[in-house]
Amino acid sequence: MSRSIDEIVESMKLLGDKSRLTILALLKERELCVCDIAELLDTTQPNVSQHLRKLKKGGLVVESRKAQWIYYSLNIEDKDYLHELLLSLPSMENKLELLSKDNNRCI
């Protein structure tokens, strides 16, 4: 599927922010809730929510509800121009291993 230059530019603008690019690198590994991402980025949930809102509006992430939590995952299957970029991002597995095991820490 061919993409317009404008669409690619908008995606690249979103990824020009370190926090948003890090969020995509984390979501490349697995879906996460806001509280997990906030813990991993050492920032606040409102800050992460703002970044996720922008990524969702840009079509790069989707959300799904599991019980009372909302989880975010990548939505780039139709964005071939981002696949190589995501492959080049460093693995975040070691960071994900640091998440606390308490499944009820989100509020």
- The reply to whether 84 falls in a domain is yes
pLDDT number for residue 67:
87
pLDDT number for residue 103:
52
* pLDDT tens-digit map of 3-37: 789 988 999 999 999 999 999 999 999 999 999 99
Q: How many folded domains does the chain comprise?
A: 1
CATH number, position 57: 1.10.10.10
- The reply to whether 98 falls in a domain is no
* pLDDT tens-digit map of 48-73: 999 999 999 999 999 999 888 899 99
- The reply to whether 27 falls in a domain is yes
pLDDT number for residue 22:
96
For residue 68, what are the domain limits?
Answer: 5-88
Instruction: Supply the DSSP string of 7-55, one letter for each residue.
Output: HHHHHHHHHTSHHHHHHHHHHHH--EEHHHHHHHHTS-HHHHHHHHHHH
